Amino acid sequence: MQQDIQCFEYLLDNAFFTNIGGEDVQKGKVNISLTITKKEEMFYFIFQLNGTITISCDRCLDDMDYPIETTARLFVKFGKDYTEESDEIVVIPKTEGIINIAWFLYEFVALAIPIKHVHAPGKCNKQMSSKLKKHTVKLSDDDSFDEEANSVIVTDEEEMEESIDPHWDILKENN
């Protein structure tokens, strides 16, 4: 069984992210190394992604640079019609023999973004952080503030009951 291997290099830049129209990433510079191995009627794509993207900080909403370094794979088979059998298996029409990998590249970048993305401690927008703290629940001596999670840890249940908006009491009466 003969294997045919080809290698390609791509650069995803700001123009790529703008033109692709995805919501998660609009700016960045990501280098792609693609190795395609042909095995009989199937192609095995290995993508190496390495670079930096610009995303919004979940806490202060300012842009932040986020490093991307990931590997992804894709199996491409020939068939009658174009179908995506799974996240990693794509069937393309044998009569065409062409696959556009642009959206797959964008998805690989977007999937490398963690659910929570925030600046390093102390790097958030100071003005936004002060407004956020201004609208945060006041803490008692027994409570603490988890800076990393940006949330209050209340240890006194009685005090927590008192801090609940009294308008909700109407709902409790109806139960």
Residue ranges making up the domain that contains 39: 3-111
72 in the same domain as 36:
yes
82 in the same domain as 154:
no
100 in the same domain as 17:
yes
Residues 95-120 as b/e (b if ≥16 CB within 10 A, e otherwise) read eeeebebeebbbebbbebeeeeebbe
With respect to residue 122, please indicate whether it lies within any of the assigned structural domains.
no
Which of helix, strand or coil describes residue 80?
coil
pLDDT of 128: 74
pLDDT of 40: 81
With respect to residue 80, please indicate whether it lies within any of the assigned structural domains.
yes
Residue 64 forms beta bridges with which residues?
55
Pull the structure tokens for residue 168.
Answer: 């909700």
Strands 42-56 and 83-84: unpaired
Query: Is 43 in contact with 101 (CB distance < 8 Å)?
Result: no
- CA separation for the pair 44, 135 (Å, rounded): 52
pLDDT of 161: 59
Give the pLDDT of the chain (175 residues) as one tens digit per residue.
556 999 999 999 999 999 998 888 889 999 999 999 998 888 999 999 999 999 998 888 889 999 999 999 999 998 888 888 888 999 998 888 888 999 999 999 999 999 988 888 888 877 776 766 666 665 555 555 555 555 555 555 555 556 667 777 777 776 6
159 in the same domain as 92:
no
Host H or E run for residue 160: helix 157-163
| Residue carrying structure tokens 């908006």 | 165
- On whether the pTM is more than 0.75, the answer is no
With respect to residue 81, please indicate whether it lies within any of the assigned structural domains.
yes
With respect to residue 61, please indicate whether it lies within any of the assigned structural domains.
yes
Q: How many domains does the chain have?
A: 2
